[in-house]
């Protein structure tokens, strides 16, 4: 029999016990022997009976001199009076009492010798022990297992009493040679080998020995873990990865276009990433940074480096909402650079190209520092029969002016008034008049009842701090409109406005976008059927118009012969996306990466390691950057993410609004509502979060709906919307979009908005039943606000006034530092809840406690690094014994290390 023997083969464990054991996942000898005690009781026998009460339970041995059974109403009390075996004048008898335990009275009789364990109390003149653990001394072995020693107490289990479990383990230890279970430790980890360690941990001979053997075993556990991590790491770096050699042109363009400079911390981690990307071995890096510290920007820069070097990059988010948001943010920043981006989620697939004019827009523009500019609805262009024309149906969407951006602009005449040829001349001339003075002109077309422009506003003057101030779209359009109105009214002897007040503008997002708009505008008269293909239309302008006009007209004629290409056709003709954004579905659905060079995994703690592995188990191995906003205590970083290099953004961007956190009991909810209404009136937006334990339950959805109605009532006339896990995806997305656009004022939501959602105008968060969330989760939730310049407020509402809850919530009131909160959370809940080792892919820790034994983990890590530094291949004779530690299950060996 050895440690791997299946317990069933032993034949002496009764069947019901076997069942109970298998429920605990205990199947082999090893499993049972590593079912470690949860605590110990000192049952070393006291030499004599105590004279008074005891603080701790004690172990005593005595003779039963009297028993009696008493009844009080329905209650039965059985008493047994014990006397010390060598009683003398001063000894005082002890009364053991059991309430309502029938079998005890059958077990115990006068004249027997009894061993008991329990706390002694004084009751009047008597010393009593209620419900002691006890054993009749008949069989000395049984006594030896349970009493007169430091006795192990195991984690409670159903169908398996402490005694039974203890008995099984005791017997097993007598039969098995446990020496092979001992993990060999390098000298630097001190206390040598201990072949008997497994026996001692269950049945230690002294407290001293227990302390030593526990440390020995914990070190063994940690050392094995660190060796496996090191092996994984070595294996990874031995893989062939992509060497990304980019000059960083795209990244530079990107960072230059940002309305803010990178923080020093962002710059530093970006450099770390850059360094890794250039190496041939695959990057495996963890990027941690508190909520809102700007990880996404760093990830984008990293992806651009990969893209520039010719690879694809993937960005994976844990939720649909977050994937959508990333996609929007990426398009906002990267469309102008002409990057091909695709969204791949379970429910939505989209490529940013091709973009027929106005047919699709990103309503999901990013946030930072952009001002709404001219907006409006586009004139509903009548489509001529037989000619397919991009549709103009449009919602009003906020647009943003950006430096060096190009825009496609359209505006129409009031009431579709038809412009005379002379009027069209005036309009075109006036457009050309400001060309190169206020804007660069790429294309213009004056249609009979509307105008198209493709322009890039120029710098008007230099503002403070070296910022250039550009001509605004509204200014440009205003001059064109008012100048031409005057002129036209003059020559046509008319009066009143010529133009609609509104204009429509569309940010050009990429080179191909520009080309597309250019084609559209310059071909518009022919395609709209205003003139026949053979005719000329003099009110179209583009650079070098004189030279190209003929060619254009000809190509238009060709175009018209065939119809426009279908989207499928377009896609087929498009090269592969350079960046793919998605959810888990990236892993499981048929997304084929043509050339994946960098995978960024956002909010890693929501992903399992297995999933990460699946994404990266391709050849050549892509670089991997995992990001987390759940700060991880250092010991955990060394283990769960031990195979990763760590970069930390430890600095918040400046100008972040402060977040003030208030604790509130439910009866004072009114105060918060008043405050909320004030903020909404001031133009801010709010999240109202309530916990749903299990979103799959109908009941909860119902509760959510009810909650929602109440909030609508409370916040009337502000617009509220409801968001929870059961809302189907397209709706979910639409709801987020409306909130982002400011059409909705308050979002009543479950934690589906927990991670990553970034809406700077939302400055109030009210969390109901806050006590039901964990600290880290509350911190994540709170991170949704405080993202703009305004002061934000977070209300933690709870009806639970227990000290435990108050202590938990007060942590949040006191600090917004994610690391402090993570430590506090860890302390309050233990690491199991924060981050399960189960998902780490590492062996489960059975004895060691990452928190309590942090020092030992650090020691084990240092020892491992030292060992492998001196002997990377474990070739030295004295190190052969460590090889077994890293032999993987599949029989692979350590040969990857070189
Ligand atoms: P997180 O680390 O939580 O993923 P994000 O990357 O979403 O943070 O950034 C939060 C917000 O801060 C975004 O609106 C982003 O544009 C902005 N931001 C990022 N870096 C900076 C910076 N250096 N200065 C100012 N704002 C920044
Ligand atoms: Mg984020």
Rounded Cα–Cα distance for residues 615 and 624 (Å): 9
User: Does residue 357 surpass a pLDDT of 70?
Assistant: no
| Residue 786 near ligand 1, beta carbon < 6 Å | no
Ligand index nearest the alpha carbon of residue 270: 1
Structure tokens at 794: 């977070």
What distance in angstroms lies between residue 480's CA and the mean position of ligand 2's atoms?
A: 42
337 lines ligand 1 (CB under 6 A): no
The ligand placed nearest to the CA atom of residue 784 is 1
Residue nearest to atom 3 of ligand 1 (CA): 292
The CB of 835 under 6 Å from ligand 1? The reply is no
- Ligand 2 center to 616 CA (angstroms): 21
Do residues 222 and 57 make contact, with C-beta atoms less than 8 angstroms apart? no
Residues 118 and 127: their CA atoms lie apart, in Å, by: 12
d(CA 452, CA 888) in angstroms, rounded, equals: 66
- Proximal ligand: closest to the CA of 301: 1
Report the nearest atom of ligand 1 relative to the CA of 602: 4
* Mean of pLDDT values over 344-348: 70
| Interatomic CA distance for residues 838 and 43, integer angstroms | 35
- The number of beta carbons lying within 10 Å of the beta carbon of residue 92 is 14
Average pLDDT, the chain: 79
For the record, the structure tokens of 436 come out as: 């190169």
Percent of the chain with pLDDT strictly greater than 90? 24
User: Which of 233, 282, 248, 273 lies closest to 597 in space, CA to CA?
Assistant: 282
Name the closest-CA residue to atom 18, ligand 1: 294
Task: Say what the pTM is.
Answer: 0.57
Q: Are 549 and 556 in contact (CB under 8 A)?
A: no
The whole-number pLDDT of residue 580 equals 92
Is the model more confident about 564 or about 123? 123
DSSP-based three-state secondary structure for 410: strand
| Ligand 1 site-directed mutation target among 289, 297, 631, most atoms within 8 Å of CB | 297
Question: Tokens 């080998």 sit at which residue?
Answer: 193
CA distances from 366 to 291, 363, 369, 508 (A): 17, 9, 9, 15
* Ligand in closest contact with the CA of 787: 1
How are beta strands 94-99 and 75-84 bridged, if at all? Answer: antiparallel
Nearest CA to ligand 1 atom 12: 294
Residue 115: per-residue pLDDT = 87
Mean pLDDT of 869-895: 68
Is 788 close to ligand 1, i.e. is its CB under 6 Å away?
Answer: no
Ligand 1 contact, 298 CB (< 6 A): no
CA 859 to chain centroid, in Å, comes to 30
On the question of pLDDT at 557 being above 60, the answer is no
pLDDT tens column, 451-471: 999 998 887 776 666 566 778
What average pLDDT does the segment 748-760 reach?
74
Q: What are the helix and strand counts (H, E) for the chain?
A: 27, 30
- Residue pair 423/410 in contact (Cβ under 8 Å)? The answer is no
Distance from CA of residue 187 to its chain's centroid? 40
Give the chain's largest Cα–Cα span.
132
pLDDT class of 608 with cuts at 50, 70, 90: low
Residue pLDDT, tens place only, 421-430: 999 999 998 9
- Count of Cβ atoms closer than 10 Å to residue 701 Cβ: 18
Residue 605 CA to ligand 1 centre (angstroms): 20
Distance 670 CA to ligand 1 centre (A): 33
Closest protein CA for atom 26 of ligand 1: 653
Q: Output the pLDDT for position 545.
A: 54
Query: Strand, helix or coil at 843?
Result: coil
- Closest of 53, 119, 131, 45 to residue 92, by C-alpha: 53
| Ligand 1 midpoint to CA 294 (Å) | 3
pLDDT at 139: 66
Cα of 628 from ligand 2 centre, angstroms? 8
**Long-range residue pairs from 817-824, CB within 8 A, at least 24 positions apart, any chain:** 817/290, 818/290, 818/291, 818/629, 818/630, 818/631, 818/779, 819/290, 819/631, 819/633, 821/631, 821/775, 821/776, 821/779, 822/630, 822/631, 822/632, 822/633, 822/775, 822/776, 822/779, 823/633, 824/775
Q: Which two tokens stand for residue 399?
A: 């647009």
Number of the ligand closest to the Cα of 758: 1
Which ligand is the nearest neighbour of the Cα of 295?
1
Pairing type for strands 450-457 and 439-446 reads antiparallel
Residue 369: band (very low, low, confident or very high) from pLDDT cuts 50, 70, 90: very low
* Interval between CA 540 and ligand 2 midpoint (Å): 45
Q: Quick check: 373 pLDDT over 70?
A: no
Q: How confident is the model at residue 700 (pLDDT cuts 50, 70, 90)?
A: low
Residue 653 Cβ contacting ligand 1 at under 6 Å: yes
Rounded to an integer, what is the distance from CA 789 to the centroid of its chain?
24
- For 20-62, the three-class secondary structure string (H helix, E strand, C coil) is HHHHCCCCEHHHHHCCCCCEEEECCECCCCCCCCCCCCEEEEE
Atom number, ligand 1, closest to the C-alpha of residue 290: 2
Tell whether ligand 1 has an atom less than 6 A from the beta carbon of residue 255: no
Tens of pLDDT, residues 574-587: 578 899 998 866 76
Q: Which helix (H) or strand (E) holds 646?
A: strand 645-649
Which residue among 296, 317, 605, 651 is best mutated to probe the pocket of ligand 1, counting the most ligand atoms within 8 A of its Cβ?
A: 296
Q: How confident is the model at residue 147, as a pLDDT? A: 82
**Cα–ligand 2 centroid distance for 670 (angstroms):** 33
CB-ligand 1 contact for 46 (6 Å cutoff): no
753 vs 852, more confident: 852
DSSP 740-771: HTTS-SEEEE-GGG-SS---TTEEEEEETTGG
pLDDT > 70? residue 894? no
Q: How confident is the model at residue 548 (pLDDT cuts 50, 70, 90)?
A: very low
**How is the chain split among helix, strand and coil, in percent rounded to 5?**
40, 20, 40
User: Ligand 2 centre and the CA of 613: distance in Å?
Assistant: 21
| Sign of the CA dihedral running 490, 495, 496, 500 | negative
- List, for residues 142-195, the tens digit of each pLDDT value: 778 888 889 898 886 777 888 888 999 999 998 888 887 788 888 888 767 788
Q: Is 288 in the pocket of ligand 1 (CB under 6 A)?
A: no
Q: What is the pLDDT of residue 574?
A: 54
- Ligand located closest to 333 CA: 1
Top pLDDT among 228 and 252 is at 252
Q: What is the pLDDT of residue 640?
A: 66
Question: What's the rounded Cα separation, in Å, for the pair 107 and 576?
Answer: 80
Separation CA 563–CA 556 (nearest Å)? 11
CB 749 within 8 A of CB 254: no
Residue given tokens 């590593």 in the structure block = 34
582 close to ligand 1 (CB < 6 Angstrom): no
Contact between 830 and 821 (Cβ < 8 Å): no
In this predicted structure, what is the pLDDT of residue 347?
Answer: 64
Cα of 581 to ligand 2 centre, how many Å?
A: 13
pLDDT value at 833 more than 50: no
What is the CA(847)–ligand 2 centre distance, in A?
35
Nearest C-alpha to atom 25 of ligand 1 is from which residue?
A: 653
Q: Is the CB of 294 under 6 A from ligand 1?
A: yes
Nearest CA to ligand 1 atom 9: 294
**Beta partners for residue 598, in sequence order:** 313, 623
pLDDT of residue 41: 84
Q: Can you give the pLDDT at residue 234?
A: 79
C-alpha 319 to ligand 2 mean position (Å): 12
Helices (H), 505-566: 511-527, 545-561
Percent of the chain surpassing pLDDT 70: 80
Is residue 368 in contact with ligand 1, taking CB distance under 6 Å? Answer: yes
Nearest ligand to the CA of 649 is 1
């Amino acid at each position: 029999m050895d440690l791997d023997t299946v317990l069933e083969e032993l034949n002496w464990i009764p069947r019901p016990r076997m069942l109970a054991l298998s429920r605990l996942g205990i199947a082999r000898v090893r499993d049972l022997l590593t079912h470690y005690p949860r605590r110990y009781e000192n049952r070393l026998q006291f030499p004599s009976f105590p004279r008074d009460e005891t603080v701790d339970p004690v172990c005593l041995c005595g003779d039963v001199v009297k028993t009696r059974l008493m009844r009080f109403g329905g209650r039965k009390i059985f008493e047994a009076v014990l006397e010390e075996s060598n009683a003398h004048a001063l000894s005082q008898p002890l009364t053991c009492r059991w309430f309502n335990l029938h079998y005890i009275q059958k077990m115990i009789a006068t004249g027997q010798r009894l061993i008991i364990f329990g706390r002694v109390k004084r009751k009047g003149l008597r010393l009593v022990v209620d419900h002691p653990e006890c054993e009749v001394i008949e069989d000395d072995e049984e006594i030896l297992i349970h009493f007169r020693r430091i006795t192990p107490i195991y984690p409670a289990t159903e169908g398996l009493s402490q005694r039974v479990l203890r008995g099984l383990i005791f017997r097993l230890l007598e039969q098995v040679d446990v020496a092979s279970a001992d993990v060999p430790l390098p000298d630097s980890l001190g206390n040598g080998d201990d072949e008997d360690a497994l026996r001692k941990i269950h049945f230690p001979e002294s407290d001293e020995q227990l302390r030593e053997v526990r440390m020995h075993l914990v070190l063994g556990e940690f050392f094995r873990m660190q060796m496996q991590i090191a092996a994984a790491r070595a294996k990874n770096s031995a893989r062939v990865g992509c060497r990304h050699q980019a000059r960083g042109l795209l990244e530079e363009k990107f960072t230059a276009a940002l309305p803010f400079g990178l923080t020093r911390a962002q710059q530093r981690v970006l450099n770390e990433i850059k360094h890794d990307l250039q190496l041939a071995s695959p990057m495996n890096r963890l990027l941690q940074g508190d909520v809102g510290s700007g990880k996404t920007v760093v990830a984008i820069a990293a992806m651009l480096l990969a893209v520039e070097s010719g690879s694809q990059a993937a960005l994976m988010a844990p939720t649909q909402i977050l994937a959508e948001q990333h996609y929007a943010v990426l398009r906002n920043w990267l469309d102008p650079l002409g990057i091909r981006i695709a969204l791949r989620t379970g429910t939505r697939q989209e490529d940013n190209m091709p973009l027929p004019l106005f047919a699709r827009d990103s309503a999901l523009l990013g946030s930072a520092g952009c001002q709404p500019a001219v907006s409006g609805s586009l004139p509903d262009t009548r489509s001529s029969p037989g000619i397919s024309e991009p549709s103009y149906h449009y919602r009003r969407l906020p647009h943003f002016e950006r430096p060096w951006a190009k825009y496609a602009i359209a505006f129409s005449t009031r009431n579709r008034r038809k412009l005379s040829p002379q009027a069209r001349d005036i309009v075109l001339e006036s457009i050309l008049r400001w060309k190169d003075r206020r804007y660069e002109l790429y294309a213009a077309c004056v249609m009979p009842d509307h105008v198209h422009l493709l322009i890039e506003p120029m710098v008007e003057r230099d503002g403070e701090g070296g910022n250039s101030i550009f001509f605004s779209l509204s200014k440009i359009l205003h001059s064109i409109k008012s100048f031409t109105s005057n002129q036209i009214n003059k020559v046509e002897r008319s009066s009143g406005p010529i133009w609609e007040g509104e204009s429509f503008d569309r940010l050009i997002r990429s080179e191909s976008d520009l080309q597309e708009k250019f084609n559209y505008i310059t071909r518009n008269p022919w395609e709209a059927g205003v003139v026949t293909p053979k005719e000329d239309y003099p009110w179209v302008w583009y650079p070098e118009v004189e030279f190209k006009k003929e060619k254009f007209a000809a190509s238009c004629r060709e175009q018209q012969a065939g119809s426009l290409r279908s989207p499928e056709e377009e896609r087929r003709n498009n090269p592969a996306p350079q960046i793919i954004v998605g959810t888990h579905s990236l892993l499981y659905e048929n997304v084929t990466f043509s050339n994946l060079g960098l995978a960024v995994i956002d909010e890693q703690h929501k992903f399992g390691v297995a999933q990460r592995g699946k994404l990266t188990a391709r050849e050549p191995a892509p670089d991997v950057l995992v990001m987390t906003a759940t700060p991880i205590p250092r010991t955990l970083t060394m283990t769960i993410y031990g195979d990763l290099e760590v970069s930390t953004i430890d600095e918040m961007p400046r100008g972040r609004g402060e977040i003030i956190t208030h604790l509130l009991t439910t009866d004072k909810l009114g105060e918060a509502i008043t405050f909320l209404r004030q903020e909404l009136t001031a133009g801010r937006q709010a999240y109202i979060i309530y916990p749903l334990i299990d979103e799959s339950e109908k009941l909860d959805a119902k509760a959510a709906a009810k909650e929602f109605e109440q909030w609508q009532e409370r916040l009337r006339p502000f617009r509220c919307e409801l968001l929870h896990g059961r809302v189907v995806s397209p709706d979910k997305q639409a709801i987020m979009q409306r909130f982002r656009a400011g059409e909705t004022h308050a979002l009543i939501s479950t934690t589906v908005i927990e991670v990553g959602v970034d809406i700077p105008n939302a400055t109030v968060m009210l969390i109901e039943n806050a006590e039901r969330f964990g600290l880290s989760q509350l911190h994540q939730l709170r991170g949704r606000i405080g993202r703009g310049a305004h002061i934000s407020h977070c209300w933690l509402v709870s009806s639970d006034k227990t000290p435990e809850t108050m202590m938990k919530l007060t942590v949040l009131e006191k600090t917004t530092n994610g690391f402090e909160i993570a430590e506090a959370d860890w302390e309050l809940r233990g690491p199991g809840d924060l981050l399960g080792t189960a998902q780490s892919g590492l062996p489960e820790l059975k004895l060691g406690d990452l928190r309590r034994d942090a020092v030992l983990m650090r020691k084990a890590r240092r020892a491992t690094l030292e060992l492998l530094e001196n002997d990377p291949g474990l070739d030295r004779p004295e190190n052969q014994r460590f090889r077994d530690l890293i032999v993987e299950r599949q029989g692979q060996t350590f040969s990857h290390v070189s």
